């Protein structure tokens, strides 16, 4: 398996990468995202984002999905 982020990852997730660095600099202990897709579009991108979160010493919280009516 290739551990390198997909081409263009840094540009596509520049705001996310910058946010991790800023939160670390401010001493904020956690990052909250609205959905897992905020971390990447592919497995490799998600792993890269998780690694950046860990490198920044942050904990990750993902907000719960809104309840949807059951179709049962």
Flag whether pLDDT at 6 surpasses 80: no
User: What's the mean per-residue pLDDT of the chain?
Assistant: 88
Gap between the Cα atoms of 70 and 27, Å rounded:
41
Look at phi and psi of residue 20 and say left if phi exceeds 0, alpha if psi is from -120 to 50, else beta.
alpha
Looking at residue 8, what is its pLDDT? 86
More confident residue, 5 or 59: 59
Give long-range contacts, CB 8 A cutoff, 24+ apart: 3-6.
Answer: 3/44, 3/47, 4/44, 5/44, 5/45, 5/48, 6/41, 6/42, 6/44, 6/45
Would you say 43 and 37 are in contact if contact means Cβ atoms under 8 Å apart?
Answer: no
pLDDT tens column, 11-22: 888 999 999 999
Mean pLDDT score, 1-27: 85
């Amino acid at each position: 398996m290739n551990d390198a982020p997909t081409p263009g990852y840094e540009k596509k997730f520049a705001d996310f990468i910058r946010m991790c660095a800023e939160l670390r600099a401010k001493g904020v202990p956690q990052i909250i995202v609205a959905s897992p897709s905020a971390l990447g579009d592919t497995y490799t991108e998600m792993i890269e984002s998780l690694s950046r979160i860990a490198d920044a010493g942050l904990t990750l919280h993902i907000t719960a999905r809104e309840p949807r009516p059951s179709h049962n």
